[in-house]
Amino acid sequence: MFKGKIDINLDFMKINSPSLIGVDISSSSVKMVELSKVGKGRGGFRVERYVIEPLAANTVQDGNILDLESVGESIHQGWKRLGSKCKNIALALPASDVITKKIIVPAGQREEDLEFQVENEASQYIPFALDEVNLDFQVLKPLPKNPNEVEVLIAASRKEKVEDRVAAALVAGLKTIIMDVEPYAAQAAYELINDQLPDGGDNQIVALVDIGATVMKTNVLHDGESVYMRDQPFGGDQLTQEIHNQFNLSLEDSERAKRNGSLPENYKTDVLSPFCETLAIEVMRAIQFFYTSTQYTEINYILIAGGCAAIPGLEDIISARTQVSTLVVNPFLNMDLSSRIIPRQINSDAPSLLIACGLAMRGFDPS
């Protein structure tokens, strides 16, 4: 767990905490998802509630909370709209705020011995004094060729990055139980999605591309384990800016019109289509960086998430540009839905709820 003044967990792989709400704080909104367990296995969930609460402009930038009170109020408003009695939540830090490293250690160590070894290892690569960071580690798995050794994931973040998110939750009257990292939360939800791929995604290389308002985050998975991550400064805000330029609307009206579809007939041909082509080029660029940075030479599938993934036909444009089969993610596809959920609406919102869904899953033991 993160060790510091704030008593919270940062468990990446363990899923043994009490029932909680997954809360994803992005640059444009707060997404909340509450699940319940209705059966065994990875698909035995029901969506009880979810909500997407807009954030005021410039309250969160590059993953940093700039206006704590405003973000806390948005979280509170979202929680009220959610209609849940649960006040325990799981949050996540952007990958850019967390230093991670995998190490190999002898199996069967006592907890205190493992903690000592992790701290020694962490001091070698963390560019801050250890008393300035929250440090966590998680034993992942034994080595296939040597069961006497195990792989351990170490994670560290500056204390203020963790404390800002916990403080925003406190403003909202909520208690942070788990502090995760966004790509790990997305990977938890990916376990629900890979069943939609041939052979359950076994022996497949899958690029999970989350296209948000300001950043496109690429996480390439091999057999469900991350082998490459990269962030690119591109997202839906560029589309909003183009609407602003083309139709002489304020940025706020441009964003509103983009969401409710109240734009002139030439919007699709003059603005949306060029944006989608540019986005597809950015995805292709991310894939090329992956090829040149790793030993891999092939990607079997591209899964797109984030708010931009809901653009009709975007997956076809990306597939044509990259020559890779492309799907829009929906972690709720095989879940039951409570009577509160409108199926058509959650299908539209699902790509932007991937991280919040993964965080909500942290409240359950998958066994």
Task: In whole angstroms, give the CA distance from residue 32 to residue 122.
Answer: 33
Task: In whole angstroms, give the CA distance from residue 156 to residue 138.
Answer: 12
Q: Strand 146-158 and strand 64-65: pairing? A: unpaired
Q: Residue 3's pLDDT is what?
A: 37
Structure tokens, 151: 């792989």
CA dihedral 211, 201, 355, 51 (to 10 degrees): 90
CB 283 within 8 A of CB 321: yes
Q: Strand 336-337 and strand 45-54: pairing? A: parallel
With residue 347 as reference, give the H or E element that holds it.
helix 343-349
Task: In whole angstroms, give the CA distance from residue 296 to residue 162.
Answer: 34
Q: Work out whether the CA dihedral 262, 267, 271, 273 comes out positive or negative.
A: positive
Task: In whole angstroms, give the CA distance from residue 259 to residue 232.
Answer: 23
Structure tokens, 167: 């403080």
CB 177 within 8 A of CB 17: yes
Q: Residue 14's pLDDT is what?
A: 44
**Quick one: which of 349, 42, 33 has its CA closest to 188?**
42
Q: Residue 13's pLDDT is what?
A: 40
Q: Residue 141's pLDDT is what?
A: 82
pTM for this model (two decimals): 0.88
Those residues with Cβ within 8 angstroms of residue 40's Cβ, 6 or more apart along the chain or in another chain? none
CB 218 within 8 A of CB 208: yes
Q: Residue 365's pLDDT is what?
A: 56
pLDDT less than 50: residues of the chain: 1-17, 366-367
Q: Residue 17's pLDDT is what?
A: 45
Task: In whole angstroms, give the CA distance from residue 242 to residue 235.
Answer: 12
Q: Residue 192's pLDDT is what?
A: 86
Q: Residue 144's pLDDT is what?
A: 81
Task: In whole angstroms, give the CA distance from residue 154 to residue 3.
Answer: 13
Q: Residue 367's pLDDT is what?
A: 37
All structural domains of the chain, each given as residue ranges with its CATH number in brackets, are: 21-235+279-361 (3.30.420.40)
Task: In whole angstroms, give the CA distance from residue 16 to residue 313.
Answer: 39
